[in-house]
Each structure stands twice: as C-alpha cells, then as structure tokens.
Amino acid sequence: MLQVRFLVKFLFLTILFFSLINGAWGRNHRVARSHRFGYARNRQVLWQEDHKKCGGENQSPIQIIRHRAIPLPLRAVEMVGYHDPLPGPLNLTNNGHSVMLRPEGLTRSMHPPAVYGALLKDHYVMDTLHFHWGLRDYRGSEHRVNGVRYPMEMHIVHRKQSYGSVHEALGHSDGLSVLAFFFEVREKDNPTLQPLLQKLHLVKLEGQSVYLDSTFTMASLLPRDLEIYYTYRGSLTTPPCSEAVTWIVFPEPQFISYMQLKKFRRLSSGESKIADNYRVLQELGNRIVYVRRMFSDTSSGNLTNDEQLWYN
C-alpha cells in the first residue's frame, strides 16, 4: 500500500514538474514569436507599432512606372570584385522570413565585392544577399515595374565603406545601397543557382544554417543587361524599416525554373511556409524615381540639376 501511495505521489510530482517547465518554455516561446513580423496585410499594418520608422514617408518597396521616371545621364553601376569568387565560408541561413547568404570571408578580404557609380557618392561594400518570393508565379517580388510583379526578387545589400557595420550604416540616410534583381519562371533550370540550391533543403526550418560546399561569383547570379536601371531613395522593406537605402533596381530579369523556385517555397518559419514574403507597395510621395539615360555625356562636369541634388 505504501508503495502504491509513493508511486502515485511520484507520478503527480513528475507531471507537475514537467507542466511547469513546459509552461515556462511556452511563455518564452511566445515572447520570442511576439518579436516576429508577419507578411499578412493585417499584420504588416502593425509593424509601425513596434518600429515607428515603418510609418515613414520614404518607405520601400514602390511601384515603378517607366514613363513617370525621370531620365538622367547617370553613370553605370560599377561592380568591383563581382567576377571574383566570393570569399568563404559562405553561410546560408533561414531567418524565419527569408533565406540569407553571408560570405563570412568578406571581413578578411582585401578586395570584397563592392559597387559605385549611379548616384552613389562612395564605394559600397557587399554584406549579404537574400530573396523574396511568392506562393504563385504571378507574385513574389517586392517592387513592381510597369505593372509587373515577378515571382522572385533578389536583394544584394551593401553598406557605405566609411561605416564600420550595417548597424552603424542604418543610422545614416546614405548608409546602404541595395541592388534589386528580378527572376521570372522558365522551364529549364538556372545552373548558376545550384551552389545555393543544393543546400537549401538543409535550412528548411527557421534558425537552421549551413555552409555551402563551393563558392561562386556574384556576377553569375545577375542578368546580362545591367545598363538600364532605376534608382530612388527608400528604406529597408522589413522592420525596422530604416530610411537609409539608395535602391538600384534592374528591370532585366534573370530566370529560375519552377522546380528550383519550389525549393524556396518549401522553407518554413516554424508557423507556416515562407512564401509571399513581400511587403505591400508603399506610397512614392514627393520622391523621384530616376532611370538611366545612356545617350548623353555622363561626365561629372555635365550633371543636371536633379543629379546635383544627390551629389551635393
């Protein structure tokens, strides 16, 4: 009889102990989730409750209309080190709202990938790249160009070289430059995406991270035509929505096959699949979108008044 009472008491205390532990974990788990941001429209409007800048006047992404953009004889976007293999190791991470590639060797590289030209006043060095995609092929990109929304958009994030980190750069209106590229769906695979895709299944869940087996050049991911681009001043498209970005948007799309895009659509945030991870279009307001015009002298001695507003 005593043994039975002891066993019952032991089971009761054991259940109570694990219930308390589970409750504490559950509360911590909910706290962690409360700091996430959702992409559903009714959740995007809540971003500015925790991140005031998300309600700013210079937000991204935007709709770009060719005939409304101001043509200027802008300089080409010069991509330094884009034809060199990325300095590894290359870390691929599922952060719960996208998949991000971080070349960890950038800090040790003497000549990391960088961009200058366009309306940029300095060199901007690469930091990371990530993607936005849709559940269906007719949506997914963040920017919309001439009414077209592509199924995927790639962002290559660069920080101004005079700032020591992205965190520091976010505190300045000229802190970052993000190059945006679109992907359209075709039947055949894009072989240049294979170094990324071959390990994508290993980061299916939020928080998972893996190193790629091989490196590649940034140029291999880009479309052929880089001469025409749009540029405007905007923000991060995710919280904290810092208005510190000079956007350079290239309208010529790259391609990705349906099966390759499907691998992105299998990624999970823990709560659901990561898909339609794009922000709703933001108002352009008083901002101006410029498009590169190639038939005029682009030397520094022949800048238009509009260009002078950027350079001065």
Q: Where are the domains of the chain?
A: 1-35, 48-311
As a whole-number percent, the residues of the chain with pLDDT over 90 amount to 77
Per-residue pLDDT, averaged over 36-51, amounts to: 90
As a whole number, the mean pLDDT across the chain is 87
Q: In whole angstroms, what is the distance from residue 79 CA to residue 222 CA?
A: 11
**What is the C-alpha radius of gyration for the chain, rounded to an integer number of angstroms?**
23
* 144-174 per-position pLDDT tens digit: 999 999 999 999 999 999 999 999 999 999 9
Residues in the chain: 312
- CATH for 48-311 is 3.10.200.10
> Is the model's pLDDT at 25 over the cut of 90?
no
* pTM of the model as a whole: 0.84
Task: Indicate if the pLDDT at residue 5 is higher than 60.
Answer: no
pLDDT digits (tens, 9 = 90+) for 236-293: 999 999 999 999 999 999 999 999 999 999 999 887 899 899 999 999 999 999 999 8
Q: What is the pLDDT of residue 166?
A: 97
Tens digits of residue pLDDT in 88-132: 999 999 999 999 999 999 988 888 999 999 999 999 999 999 999
Respond yes or no: is residue 97 known to be catalytic: yes
Residue 296 has pLDDT above 70, yes or no: no
CA dist 161 and 233 (Å) reads 18
74-89: pLDDT as tens digits = 999 999 999 999 999 9
Answer whether residue 14 shows pLDDT above 60. Answer: no
| Catalytic one of 35, 83, 97, 167 | 97
pLDDT of res. 110: 84
Pairing of strands 290-292, 230-234: antiparallel
* pLDDT at residue 295 in the model: 58
The answer to whether 228 and 250 are in contact (CB under 8 A) is yes
In three-state form (DSSP H/G/I as H, E/B as E, the rest C), the secondary structure along the chain is CHHHHHHHHHHHHHHHHHHHHHHHHHHHHHHHHHCCCCCCHHHHCCHHHHCHHHHCCCCCCCEECHHHCEEECCCCEEEECCCCECCCCEEEEECCCCEEEEEHHHHHCCCCCEEEECCCCCCEEEEEEEEEECCCCCCCCCCEECCECCCEEEEEEEEECCCCCHHHHCCCCCCEEEEEEEEEEECCCCHHHHHHHCCHHHHCCCCCEEECCCCCEHHHHCCCCCCCCEEEEECCCCCCCCCCEEEEEEEEEEEEEHHHHHHHHCCECCCCECCCCCCCCCCCCCCCCEEECCCCCCCHHHCCHHHHHHHC
